[in-house]
Each structure stands twice: as C-alpha cells, then as structure tokens.
Structure 1
Amino acid sequence: MTIQNGDSRKLYQQVAGAVAAAIASGRYPVGTRLPSERDLAEEFGVSRPTVREAMIALEIRGLVEARHGSGIYVMEGAEAGGPPLDLDIGAFELTEARRLFEGEACALAATVITDEELAELEVILGDMVGENSLATSIGEQADRRFHVTIARATRNTAIVMVVETLWDIRYRSPLCAAMLSRAREVGVRPLIEDHREILNALSRRDPKAARDVMRAHLGRVIDGLLTATEIDALDRARLDAEARRQDIARRTAV
C-alpha cells in the first residue's frame, strides 16, 4: 500500500482509504489484527499521528475496533464499509494550527491588553478550575473563553474570527470530536498551570514570553493527545515518551 503524491485528500484520509480497500479485498479478514501503528507509518511513509487519525476514522465508520493492550482488529461486516467518509480535520492538525496562530495572537495581545481584560481572564481561569471536574465537552467552555478573550484583546477582528473558527472546528469535525472525546475519557483536561503562566506573561505585557508560553502550552496539548490516542499498547512497552513523540518534533519546532 502506498500514498499517491497526486492525491488531494488529507494524508489520514489516504491511509484510511488504503486500509479500508485492503479490508474489502480480503487482505485483512474479519478478526484480523492490523499491523502496528509503527509498521503502518513506515509502510505509508507518514507520521504515527497520521496513522492514529486514520485508525480513529476507521473506528468511527465501524470498520475496525481498538482493543486496549492488543491492537486494532477488523470488525464483523467491515467488508460493506463503502468508500471513506470525509471526516475533515483531526485534533493534531487543528492543534498545530492553533499553536501557530494563537502564539502570535498572544504576543500581540500582550502589547495592548487592558487591566479589565486581565481581570476577566482571572475570572475565567477560576471557572476553568471548576469545569475541569466535568467529563464532557461542557468542561471546555471556560477554556474556549480564555483563548478567545486573548484574541479579542488584540483589537483585530480577523484574528478573533480565526481563533473562534479553530475552536468551532473541534465540535464540527467528527474526527476531531472523536479524538478529543477519547482524550477526555482518559483524563486529559485543560492545563490550569499553563493558563496561569499565559496570564502572568500577559500581565507583564511581555510579548515574547506570551508567545513562548502559549506555544509551549499547545505543544503540551499535542503531547496529551498523543498519549490519549495511543492505539498500540505494545509500543508503550518498547518505546519511551520521547521516542513516541519524535515524529512530530520537527513540525512543532517551527
């Protein structure tokens, strides 16, 4: 199975489509364990997060099933799965975009933010602490308000629209929603201390520090998603955390 350079679909869609076709052709019969995440990444020449998104997309379609501690297996009736659905944007791709846009937005906000807006962020941070006890997406409302409030502090309507759109994608994209739901199930919540550091940098009116702490925060969000969406438990026994995350280190260094 290979990825076609001329294919305009997202990489995870190409991987999902190729695996679905292999299932339909009988290469992977019902009950068969699929190759490991690492093996699939090597076979397709893509990152492991891309493979992970593809497997979650296939789970959403009911073609495969993740069995903790064992791997990914082809489900009964998978042969009738049909063509891959366009599940839109995954959580890795979304968070990478947020890291770029919100890092710069935070730096700009640090130069013009008012005392009133800083006080509002302090209140929102308190709300976030309370919402962290919730296991549903309701617990993300304060998190969204915190980030959008920073965008509004830039006094740039276009920046606000971009940040709001990126947050809205979290709920509109079935793939992203599924990945974030899985993260919540294993206890991934908004990082309160990270948000406190962001607020402190904004309070100092330090644009460089504000940019750095926002980018570091969203880098840790990616780390949390990697852990939460781990699909091959055998890899956890073989690889340490640094090795599991090296496939995105180059991109997050941008």
Structure 2
Amino acid sequence: MGALPRETVVDVLEQRLRERILAGRHPAGSYLPPERELADEFGVNRTTLKHAFGRLVHAGLLETRHGVGTRVRDFLRLGGADLLPMLVRHSPDWIGEIFEVRHSIGALIAERAASRATEAQVAELRRLVAAVAEAKGGEDAQLADAEVHRALARATGNRVYVLLTNTLFNAYLPVRSALVGPFEDARAAHDRLAPVVEAVAARDESAARTAAGAYLSATERIMLEGLADTGRGQGGQR
C-alpha cells in the first residue's frame, strides 16, 4: 500500500473555512473579513489563504472580486448537484433528501430502461446483476450494485439520467461505509435487485417501476439504520 496523503496547511485551512460557511457563520452574500485579518487569525500567510480561497471558489462557495473582496456565494440558489458530497460531509442530514430524489429518479430510470433497452444492454444488465451475487464482501457487492444502476441509466438512452446517477453515487462517498448494510449478504443484495433487471428484460415498464420502488425502499431502510447505528457509535465515543 502507498503512503497515505498528508494534510497540508492549505487543506486544513480550506476545511475550516468551508465548515464556517456551511454552518452559516459567514452567511450567503456576506463578505469574509479582510485577508490580513483572516491570515492573522489562522496563523498563516496570505499566499496560503489565497490558495484556500481558490479551492473554495472552484467548489462554488466563494466568489472573489478584485478590489472589492471575497463574498460567500448563495450556493443553494446558484450551486449545482456537484456540491452534494461536500454538503453530506458537513452534515449527514442531507442523506434523507438525497434518498427522496434517489427513489423518484431510480424508479423513473427503471421504467425508461424497460421501454428503451437494447438486447445488448439487457445482456449487460443480467451479467452485472449476477456479479452482485458473486461479490466477496459488502464493499464489493456495493460497488457491483452501483454498476447495475449505471447500466440501467445508460439503457434509458438519456445521458442526463447517467449523469444524475453518477451524481447521487458521488454524494454517498463521504458516508459510503455506513451505507454498506444492504450489501453485506451478496446473495440477498442480488435477490433484491434482480427483479428490476428481469422487469426491464421483459419490457414491462410498470413492473420495472414497481420493482425499483421496492428495491429502493428496502435498501433505504437498511442504509438509514446503518447511519443511525454509526451516529450512536460516534456519540458514545465522545
């Protein structure tokens, strides 16, 4: 295994500023204190501060105007779904809202796939869902399951569904280990997902939507239980 990357001063400063912004300490539309003041507060030089600002500008949390200052961007009004991993990392409360979208989008994707999938895509779906049952361990099954959903999105023929699916998976990344519950038993994970694939293969749009809804509800329940257990465990360690 390679050495783990070490946090730099810029990494730490970026994290602290990001947490302040997301916690509302610096509200949307407000200007951050002058650079010299912030640099003194954090014990860094202004070059380091500018590097951290640059990352937060790229992330969509700040905007800098020459000669005016650095302002907190109204990311809830102007931001995109690419902010979700950062927001989940800040507060797992976002997961509940992500699950709501996951359920509605996932069911619609299955329905669309049932009406549009080619024979080659159906064959790919069956191969990928079989790989879920053969996975060794929860993490491998979780990744194999994700590939089935990516293939379902591709089978719709709509690239926006593919990007939305990727966005939702990316949003899970900060808490992925707490969401592994539905996949610890690879055979059970396969059996929950296989009816979706078979309904798509049968070109039955209604059955595909129903099967996807059942899959999404069942896995959501197990995932939320895992998150609750993780939260209780962390609370007990404090």
**Which range, TM-score by smaller chain?**
0.5 to 0.7
Matched ranges for 1:45-60 at <5 A: none
Aligned to 1:57: none
1:151 aligns with 2:150: no
* Paired residue secondary structure (2:137): coil
Report which structure shows greater RCO (CA 8 Å, sep ≥6): 1
Query: How far does residue 89 in structure 1 lie from its aligned partner after superposition?
Result: 5.9
Counterpart residue identity of residue 192, structure 1: H
CA distance in 1, matches of 2:191, 2:148: 13
CA distance in 2, matches of 1:88, 1:226: 11
Question: Structure 1 residues 162 and 223 mapped into 2: Cα distance closer, same or farther (>3 Å)?
Answer: same
CA distance in 2, matches of 1:91, 1:199: 26
Correspondent of 2:123 among 119, 129, 153: 119
Aligned to 1:212: 210
1:179 aligns with 2:178: yes
CA distance in 1, matches of 2:196, 2:229: 32
* Paired residue secondary structure (1:144): helix
* Paired residue secondary structure (2:90): coil
Q: Give the gaps of 5 or more residues in structure 2.
A: 1-21, 24-88, 231-238
CA distance in 2, matches of 1:89, 1:168: 16
TM-score (normalizing by structure 2): 0.53
Higher helix share: 2
Query: How far does residue 95 in structure 1 lie from its aligned partner after superposition?
Result: 2.6
CA distance in 2, matches of 1:150, 1:187: 22
CA deviations 1:87-140 (Å, max 9, x no partner) are 366544333221110111111111111111111111111211111x314x3332
1:96 aligns with 2:100: yes
Q: Give the gaps of 5 or more residues in structure 1.
A: 1-8, 11-84, 233-254
**Paired residues of 2:133 and 2:141 also in contact (CA < 8 A):** no
Matched ranges for 1:127-138 at <5 A: 127-131=131-135, 133-135=136-138, 137-138=139-140
Question: Structure 1 residues 231 and 124 mapped into 2: Cα distance closer, same or farther (>3 Å)?
Answer: closer
Question: Structure 1 residues 202 and 221 mapped into 2: Cα distance closer, same or farther (>3 Å)?
Answer: same
Aligned to 2:143: 141
Question: Structure 1 residues 170 and 188 mapped into 2: Cα distance closer, same or farther (>3 Å)?
Answer: farther
Query: How far does residue 188 in structure 1 lie from its aligned partner after superposition?
Result: 6.2
CA distance in 2, matches of 1:86, 1:225: 18
TM-score (normalizing by structure 1): 0.50
Aligned to 1:87: 91
Identity over aligned pairs, percent: 22
CA deviations 1:144-192 (Å, max 9, x no partner) are 1100101011111111100111112111xx3x335325x37x9465721
CA distance in 1, matches of 2:163, 2:228: 32
**Paired residues of 1:91 and 1:179 also in contact (CA < 8 A):** no
CA RMSD in angstroms comes to: 2.9
Aligned to 1:53: none
